Structure 1
Amino acid sequence: MISPIFHHPSIQVRPCAFGWGVFAAADIEPSTVLERAPFLVLDPVDTSNPPLNDYVFAVTYDKRSSLYGQLAMVLGWGSLFNHADDPNVEPRMVLESRLFEFVAVRTIPAGDQCFVSYGEAWWSERGRAAR
Structure 2
Amino acid sequence: MNAPFELLPIRSGHRLPLRILQMGRRGRGVVAEADIPAGALIERSPVLVIPASDRAAVDPTIVFTYVFMWEHGTVEEDLYRHEGRSAIALGYTSLLNHSYAPNCDFVRHIDELAIDLVARRDIQAGEELTIDYQMTLWFTPE
Structural mapping, 1:76-95, within 5 Å: 76-95=91-110
Separation (CA, whole Å) in 1 of partners of 2:135 and 2:89: 20
Q: Which residue identity does 1:74 align to in structure 2?
A: A
- Residue 96 of structure 1 deviates from its aligned partner by 3.8
Structural mapping, 1:1-131, within 5 Å: 1-5=8-12, 6-9=14-17, 11-17=18-24, 18-42=26-50, 43=52, 44-62=55-73, 69-121=84-136, 123=137, 126=138, 128-131=139-142
SS in 2 for 1:97: coil
Contact 2:10 2:46 in 1 (8 A): no
- Residue 27 of structure 1 deviates from its aligned partner by 1.3
Equivalent pairs, count? 122
Contact 1:41 1:70 in 2 (8 A): yes
Q: Which runs of 5+ in 1 are unaligned?
A: none
Q: Which digits, 9 at most, give the CA deviation of each residue in 1:41-78, with x for residues without a partner? A: 11332322131111111113516xxxx83110111111
Separation (CA, whole Å) in 1 of partners of 2:112 and 2:135: 28
Contact 1:38 1:74 in 2 (8 A): yes
Separation (CA, whole Å) in 1 of partners of 2:140 and 2:21: 25
Q: Which digits, 9 at most, give the CA deviation of each residue in 1:103-131, with x for residues without a partner? A: 0011111111000111233x1xx3x4444
Q: Which runs of 5+ in 2 are unaligned?
A: 1-7, 75-82
- Structure 1 stretches of 4+ moved >6 Å: none
Q: CA RMSD in A?
A: 2.0
Contact 1:34 1:101 in 2 (8 A): yes
Separation (CA, whole Å) in 2 of partners of 1:60 and 1:2: 21
Larger gyration radius, structure 1 or structure 2:
2
Percent of residue pairs identical: 27
TM-score normalised over the length of structure 2: 0.75
Task: Give the strand-richer structure, 1 or 2.
Answer: 1
- Residue 4 of structure 1 deviates from its aligned partner by 4.9
Separation (CA, whole Å) in 1 of partners of 2:111 and 2:11: 12
